[in-house]
């Protein structure tokens, strides 16, 4: 173990100033990329990339059993511009759409008569 530590210290001491600075830049870039990845809101990325008709469907589904009513104004808004309650309604709409996506094919097969 001591020989490994000694070897790594010796290797570090033989690095040039440019190599050390390059290593520091790499570590700093990796840290900033990791921090940005942790702060990424995947729901916002998904919602903001949708077409208006898809956002309308999600807003309609989000209005079901919701105290917050999503209107046509929300279709034009970005996810980050909405209030917390509006974001929760959009999230519920997305989850309901995913549930419908799973359920509809099985319902079609049940009623399929050859």
Distance CA 99, CA 114 (A): 27
Same domain? For 6 and 22 the reply is yes
Can you give the C-alpha Rg of the chain in angstroms?
25
Q: What pLDDT is recorded for position 18?
A: 79
What is the chain's length? 114
Distances in Å between the alpha carbon of 23 and those of 9, 12, 20? 15, 11, 5
Same domain? For 46 and 22 the reply is no
Q: Is 65 left (phi over 0), alpha (psi -120 to 50) or beta?
A: left
Give residue 14's domain range.
2-38
pTM of the model: 0.58
The number of domains in the chain is 2
Q: Average per-residue pLDDT in the chain?
A: 76
Mean pLDDT of 12-21: 70
């Amino acid at each position: 173990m001591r020989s490994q530590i000694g070897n790594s210290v010796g290797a570090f001491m033989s690095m040039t100033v440019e190599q050390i600075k390059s290593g520091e830049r790499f570590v700093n870039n990796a840290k900033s990329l990791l921090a940005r990845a942790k702060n990424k809101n995947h729901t916002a990325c998904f919602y903001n990339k949708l077409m208006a008709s898809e956002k309308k469907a999600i807003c309609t589904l989000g209005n079901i059993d919701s105290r917050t009513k999503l209107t046509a104004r929300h279709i034009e808004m970005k996810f980050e511009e909405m209030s917390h309650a509006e974001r929760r309604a959009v999230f519920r709409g997305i989850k309901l759409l995913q549930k419908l996506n799973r359920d509809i094919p099985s319902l079609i097969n049940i009623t399929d008569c050859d």
